[in-house]
């Protein structure tokens, strides 16, 4: 399972989210077709662009609860004071991806920042 975790500011567009996902995958030689889904914090459930991006990419969007993100926060590679303040986790995109990808998941690298959107790629323990 490969999951793209999404963090964003309010009011981003679907195109910005899709572009962030594609850019985050590129260094790893992956495409959106490689993904099992997108993930974000449940508190972002009203952010239409993330849901629209899932539809555009034909991927489910996993809404991850705060406690699940906090459980994997020690595996996060980024520490954002904004994310800690707003969501109680060091990186929404990284911890959402880790939590959604499964118990033995790991990040391929730190989140990438694409303007108002962050994206992190996590794989479960069985992926290369």
Domains and CATH numbers, the chain: 2-114 (3.30.420.180)
pTM exceeds cut of 0.85: yes
Query: Is residue 6 within 8 Å of 96, Cβ to Cβ?
Result: yes
pLDDT tens digit string along 61-120? 999 998 999 999 989 998 888 877 777 787 999 999 999 999 899 999 999 999 999 999
* Calpha distance 1→18 (Å, rounded): 19
pLDDT at 31 over 80: yes
* Calpha distance 7→97 (Å, rounded): 10
pLDDT tens digit string along 54-76? 999 999 999 999 899 999 998 99
């Amino acid at each position: 399972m490969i999951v793209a975790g999404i963090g964003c500011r309010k009011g981003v567009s679907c195109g910005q989210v899709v572009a962030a996902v594609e850019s985050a995958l590129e260094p790893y030689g992956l495409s959106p077709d490689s993904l099992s889904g997108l993930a974000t914090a449940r508190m972002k459930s009203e952010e239409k662009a993330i849901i629209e991006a899932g539809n555009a990419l034909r991927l489910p969007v996993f809404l991850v609860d705060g406690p699940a993100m906090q459980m994997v926060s020690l595996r996060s590679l980024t520490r954002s004071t904004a994310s800690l303040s707003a969501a109680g986790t060091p990186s929404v995109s990284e911890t959402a991806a880790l939590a959604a990808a499964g118990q033995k998941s790991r990040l391929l690298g730190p989140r990438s920042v694409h303007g108002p959107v962050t994206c992190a790629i996590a794989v479960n323990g069985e992926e290369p």
